[in-house]
């Protein structure tokens, strides 16, 4: 009797738990493809992207190889993208592009993938490996779709990422200046423009190059100062040749007058 009562209690508990499950949970755990498919799109259209992504992920396992395969895989990635889970969405789209190169969804999948990569990049102080990866993906996309309607967006992305790399290079060189390592700063600033003459901080870089030369000469022993102040004069002429009306001009003119007396 006790055993029967225990079984009855367990059966009631299981029934209660089942009854407490939502329709969504039952769909997620079930194998009704049509019901899942319809519900997934309804959730997507309603803006419930996390739940839609879970249903599409569940569907992906049972629609693989069917005519719905690419649609399910694409909307799984798009749901994650809309939910702002860019890391997962990028993996979804990357897989989709490899599996379905001829799908009508592929051009959009390629754009969404590079947008995920763009959004995953880090501020200039941190590792810029994701930035280089995003630049490569965007450039490849623009070569493949040169007249696409996403071209202006891609160009803006490239500008943003390029400016970030410019800032990174500039700030790395300026760190030596802040540490009063003026010879190292002089070399670092020159190398920045050697690598990228169009750096958006070019005016500042030329200014700090001249300042580094002046301070390095000023701190040198007497028998080295004249030679090193001549380097500053060259940097000064380079600067005013490009930026005669710069707000740095007055300061550099003062140093120029002092250097001429050395």
Write the DSSP symbol of residue 149. Answer: T
Q: Say what the pLDDT of residue 5 is.
A: 55
Interatomic CA distance for residues 205 and 172, integer angstroms: 11
Q: How many helices (H) and strands (E) does the chain have?
A: 13, 0
Q: Tokens 């029934």 map to which residue?
A: 15
Q: What is the mean pLDDT of residues 8-12?
A: 48
- The region of weakest confidence among 200-214, 216-230, 235-249 is 216-230
For the chain, what is the radius of gyration of the CA atoms? 31
Interatomic CA distance for residues 150 and 74, integer angstroms: 19
With 90 as the cut, is the pLDDT of residue 1 above it?
Answer: no
Q: In the structure encoding, which two tokens stand for residue 52, read together?
A: 């839609």
CB 204 within 8 Å of CB 170: yes
Number of residues written out for the chain: 262
User: Which has the closest alpha carbon to 88: 97, 98, 79, 99?
Assistant: 79
Q: What is the mean pLDDT of residues 144-173?
A: 96
Tell me the pTM: 0.83
Q: Please, which pLDDT band fits residue 2 given cuts at 50, 70 and 90?
A: low
Q: What is the mean pLDDT of residues 149-165?
A: 97
Q: Say what the pLDDT of residue 24 is.
A: 83
Q: Say what the pLDDT of residue 19 is.
A: 45
Q: Tokens 């069917």 map to which residue?
A: 66
- Let me know if 172 is exposed, middle or buried by CB neighbors in 10 A (0-12, 13-18, 19+): middle
Interatomic CA distance for residues 166 and 53, integer angstroms: 38
Q: Tokens 């870089």 map to which residue?
A: 205
Q: Say what the pLDDT of residue 30 is.
A: 76
Q: Say what the pLDDT of residue 219 is.
A: 94
Interatomic CA distance for residues 188 and 209, integer angstroms: 9
Q: Please, which pLDDT band fits residue 17 given cuts at 50, 70 and 90?
A: very low
User: Which has the closest alpha carbon to 236: 206, 258, 261?
Assistant: 206
Domain topology for 24-101: 1.25.40
What's the CA dihedral at 226, 170, 250, 181 to 10 degrees?
A: -40
CB 225 within 8 Å of CB 218: yes
With 90 as the cut, is the pLDDT of residue 261 above it?
Answer: no
Q: Parse the chain into domains and list their residue ranges.
A: 24-101
Per residue in 167-222, pLDDT (tens digit) is: 999 999 999 999 999 999 999 999 999 999 999 999 999 999 999 999 999 999 98
Q: What is the mean pLDDT of residues 55-81?
A: 95
Buried b (16+ CB within 10 A) or exposed e, 41-77: eebbeeebbebbbbbbbbbbeebeeeebbbbbbbbbb
């Amino acid at each position: 009797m006790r055993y029967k009562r225990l079984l009855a209690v367990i059966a009631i508990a299981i029934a209660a738990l089942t009854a407490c499950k939502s329709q969504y949970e039952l769909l997620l755990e079930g194998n009704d493809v049509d019901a899942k498919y319809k519900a997934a799109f309804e959730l997507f259209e309603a803006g419930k992207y996390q739940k839609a992504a879970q249903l599409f992920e569940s569907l992906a396992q049972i629609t693989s190889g069917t005519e719905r395969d690419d649609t399910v895989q694409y909307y799984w990635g798009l749901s994650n993208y809309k939910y702002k889970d860019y890391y997962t969405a990028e993996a979804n789209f990357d897989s989709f592009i490899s599996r379905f190169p001829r799908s009508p969804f592929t051009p959009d999948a390629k754009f969404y993938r590079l947008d995920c990569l763009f959004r995953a990049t880090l501020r200039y102080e941190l590792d810029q490996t994701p930035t280089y990866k995003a630049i490569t993906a965007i450039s490849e996309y623009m070569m493949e779709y040169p007249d696409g309607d996403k071209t202006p967006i891609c160009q803006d992305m490239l500008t943003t990422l390029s400016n970030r790399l410019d800032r990174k290079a500039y700030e790395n060189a300026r760190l030596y200046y802040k540490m009063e390592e003026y010879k190292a700063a002089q070399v670092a600033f020159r190398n920045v423009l050697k690598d990228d003459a169009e750096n958006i901080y070019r005016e500042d870089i030329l200014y700090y190059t001249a300042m580094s030369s002046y301070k390095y000469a000023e701190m040198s022993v007497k028998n080295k100062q004249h030679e090193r102040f001549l380097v500053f004069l060259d940097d000064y002429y380079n600067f005013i040749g490009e930026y005669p009306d710069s707000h740095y001009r007055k300061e550099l003119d003062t140093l120029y007058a002092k250097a001429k007396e050395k």
